[in-house]
Amino acid sequence: MEKKFQYLLAPMEDLADSCFRTICHRYGANLTFTELNRIDSLARNNKSSWKRIKLFDETPTVIQVIGEKEQFLKKFLSKFNPEKGFSGFNLNLGCPAPNFVNHGIGCAMIKRIAKTKKLVQILKDNGYSTSIKMRLGLNQFEKEKKVYLNLINNVNADFFIVHARHGKQGYNEKADWSVFAECVKTGKNIVANGDIKTKEDVEKIRSFGCRGVMIGRAAIINPLIFAELKGLTVPSLGKVKLEYEQLLKERDVSYKYHQNIFKHLGKVDGSFNELS
């Protein structure tokens, strides 16, 4: 991971399309993440899944994947050819959706250390930078047992993005930033995620020793947030909207992204859900 403090755009379902990722990188995001992609769907050549990981420019982009089957991961990687902008893979261990958790993946993978190690090793054996996005456990009990520290200590990922909530918590419940200091003490590269919106928030996160911040919902409302947090001069939000619309015209992107982005862009209250 870069030594300089990093600003990351979160993976957000039906929101973080290639156009929005380009805009956020243009205005300060060091690294962006695709929407969540099922490893088994990619292995089976699902067209819509492969379309979601297509990169259109050199925007630094990490492809986020979810799953547990090693054979599917190997099959997908045998077909995968990195495009310009590709910056590694991220394994999702944070999604609390029942259709994932009930199959032992997403948030339910946090305590599956052996399985996670195997998946990470496959990615690294293929020469790819590999990170993990995780919550603090599936529920309050797992958080109290500090399963998240066990994972960080025992898995050899390049960096860990820690969403400071457990799987049963919604976004109306405040993220518990107190966990970041102990995560950093593991000696691993930690990126903080959860309720980070202001320069003061970033300074607090930096004081814990984190290597960066990941921002999701706040970026949908204001894609200029990365530049603002860095103290850079920014254009009007109206100009950004026009740039986004131009990118949509140039790329073969589903209209749903246009609808979803403009539903939230510039609004004060971003009451919508991320997957992890």
Tens of pLDDT, residue by residue over 2-44, are 779 999 999 998 888 999 999 999 999 999 999 999 999 999 9
DSSP annotation of 81: -
Contact 184, 190 (CB under 8 A): yes
Query: Helices in the chain by DSSP H: which ranges?
Result: 18-26, 39-43, 47-52, 70-79, 98-101, 113-125, 140-144, 147-154, 179-184, 199-208, 217-221, 225-229, 237-250, 255-264
β-bridge mates for residue 91, sequence order: 65, 132
pLDDT in the model for residue 50: 96
Q: Is the pLDDT of residue 205 over 50?
A: yes
Q: CATH number for 6-264: choose from 3.30.300.130, 1.25.40.10, 3.90.1150.10, 3.20.20.70.
A: 3.20.20.70
pLDDT at res. 2: 76
Q: What is the mean pLDDT of residues 87-100?
A: 97
Over residues 216-225, mean pLDDT: 94
At 43-66, the pLDDT tens digits run 999 999 999 999 999 999 999 999
Q: Which is nearest to 267 in space by CA: 230, 221, 217?
A: 221
Closest of 213, 276, 223 to residue 1, by C-alpha:
213
Residue 218 has pLDDT above 60, yes or no: yes
User: pLDDT at position 3, please?
Assistant: 79
Q: What radius of gyration, in Å, describes the C-alpha atoms of the chain? A: 18
What's the token pair of residue 121?
């090793």
Q: Which residue ranges make up each domain of the chain?
A: 6-264
